[in-house]
Structure 1
Amino acid sequence: MSLKKLACVGDSITFGYEIPEENKWTKLLEEKLKIEVLNFGINGDTTNGMLSRFNKVLEEHPTHILITGGTNDLWYGLKDEEIVANINAMVRHAKHENIECFVGIPIPFLNLNEPNLVDEDYAECVRSFQARLIKFCRLKELPYIDFSKGMKKQHFMNDGLHPNILGQEIMVNSAEKVLKNWF
C-alpha cells in the first residue's frame, strides 16, 4: 500500500448496500490502485449528515477525499442548491486541510414511476441534479467521477437504485479511470 489514503464519503451507494465486503467498489478500488481506501458511506445518509460528520473523516488524515451524495436529499425533496452547498462546504473544508478532493456524480434512479416524498418525479430530480453537479465541478475545476456512465438496468438491484455486484464493477472502473492519474 502507498502512503496515500482515499476517504470515500457518501450514502448507501458508497457504503455498498447489501454487497459483500470483498465485492464493494471501494474495496475493489483499494486493490486496483494499491492504496488505502476508507469507506465512510452510511445507508440513508444525506449531504447534511455527511457534512456534520466530516470532521471524523478528517481525523483519519486522508490525502484524498471522494464525496458522493445527494440522492437521499432529493428523495426528501431538498433542492439542488442546498445539496451543492453542502458538497461545496466539504470540498472547501478539505482544501483548507490541503486534502485533494473529488466529487462523485451519483448513479441514476431507474424506477421511473416512483415519486419522491414531496411528489416530484424522483428519477428526473436525480437527472437534473447530476447535470447541476457536473456544472458545479467544471466551474470550480474539481475533478469528478461520473458513476452514472455505463450503468444499465442489469447493473442494479431490483429497487432500481442500488448497484448490484455487476454495478460495483462499473463503479470501480469509472473511479479507476479518474483516480489512477492521482495515485
Structure 2
Amino acid sequence: MNTTKLLCIGDSLTYGYEMEPSKRWTNLLEKSLDIKVFNYGINGDTASGMLSRFMNKLIEVKPTHTLIFGGTNDLWFGLKDEHIISNIYAMTKQAVYANSIPIIGIPTPSFNLNELNFVGEDYSECIRSFQQILINHCINKDTHYIHFSKSMTQDCFMDDGIHYNAHGHQVMASLVQDKLETII
C-alpha cells in the first residue's frame, strides 16, 4: 500500500449521506489509489465543529494530506463567509503545522433552487457567492484546492439537490484522485 494518508474532514458531503459505504467517494478513492483514506465527515457539521475536532484527528492519523471540505451547513444557518473562511484557514494552518498538505474543497452547488436558508436568503446563491470567495482565499494563501462544482452536474445529485448519488460519488472520487496525483 502507498504511504499516502488522506484525512478528509467535513459534513455530510464528506461522510456520504445515505450512501452505502462501499459507494462513498472516500472509499472509492482509497481503493483506486491504494492509499489510506480517513473519512471524518459528520452529517450536519459546520466549519466550527470541524475545527473543534480537527487537531485531535491530525495527531491521531498523522496524514500526509488533508482535505478540508465544509461550509454548506454554515451557509444554510446564515453564517457569514468571513466566519466560515476563518475556521477553514485555521484548519489549513493546523494541517501545515502537523506536516500535512492541506487541500480545500470548494463546495458543490445546490440544485434545490427554491430553498431559503435559516435566515431567509437564497441558499443556492449563498453557495455560489461563497465558492468564489473561498477560491480567492485559496489563491491568495497559495493553498491547494479542488473546485468540485466544475464537474458536478445535476445528474450527480439525489432528489434533494444537495447530496450526491452513486454517480456523484464516482465523480468526486475522480476529482480528488486527479488532484492528489498532481500533488504527490
Q: Provide the rounded CA distance (Å) in 1 between the counterparts of 2:7 and 2:140.
A: 23
Q: TM-score, normalised by structure 1?
A: 0.97
Q: Does 1:49 align with 2:49?
A: yes
Question: How many residues are aligned here?
Answer: 183
1:41-100 CA-partner distances (Å, limit 9, x unpaired): 000000000000012211211111100000000000001111000000000011112211
More helix by share: 2
The alignment-based identity, stated in percent, is: 52
Q: Provide the rounded CA distance (Å) in 2 between the counterparts of 1:142 and 1:159.
A: 31
* Deviation of 1:182 (Å): 2.7
Q: State whether residues 149 and 174 of structure 1, in contact with CA within 8 Å, keep that contact through their aligned partners in structure 2.
A: no
> What letter matches 1:35 in structure 2?
I
User: What is residue 129 of structure 1 aligned with on the other side?
Assistant: 130
Q: Provide the rounded CA distance (Å) in 1 between the counterparts of 2:4 and 2:155.
A: 34
Q: Provide the rounded CA distance (Å) in 2 between the counterparts of 1:34 and 1:24.
A: 15
Q: Provide the rounded CA distance (Å) in 2 between the counterparts of 1:73 and 1:96.
A: 25
Q: Provide the rounded CA distance (Å) in 1 between the counterparts of 2:11 and 2:129.
A: 19
User: What is residue 176 of structure 1 aligned with on the other side?
Assistant: 177
User: What is residue 82 of structure 2 aligned with on the other side?
Assistant: 81
> What letter matches 1:27 in structure 2?
N
User: What is residue 29 of structure 2 aligned with on the other side?
Assistant: 29
Q: Does 1:13 align with 2:18?
A: no
> What letter matches 1:164 in structure 2?
N
Return 5+ residue gaps in structure 1 as ranges: none
Q: Which consecutive aligned stretches of 4+ in structure 1 deviate over 3 angstroms post-superposition?
A: none
SS in 2 for 1:145: strand
Return 5+ residue gaps in structure 2 as ranges: none
* Deviation of 1:3 (Å): 1.6
User: What is residue 97 of structure 2 aligned with on the other side?
Assistant: 96
TM-align CA RMSD? 0.9
Q: Provide the rounded CA distance (Å) in 1 between the counterparts of 2:183 and 2:17.
A: 27
1:102-151 CA-partner distances (Å, limit 9, x unpaired): 00011100111110000000000000001111111111111111111121
Q: State whether residues 153 and 160 of structure 1, in contact with CA within 8 Å, keep that contact through their aligned partners in structure 2.
A: yes
Q: Provide the rounded CA distance (Å) in 1 between the counterparts of 2:54 and 2:38.
A: 13
SS in 2 for 1:181: helix
Q: State whether residues 116 and 122 of structure 2, in contact with CA within 8 Å, keep that contact through their aligned partners in structure 1.
A: yes
Q: Provide the rounded CA distance (Å) in 2 between the counterparts of 1:181 and 1:113.
A: 37
Choose 157-166 or 170-179, whichever is displaced more. 170-179
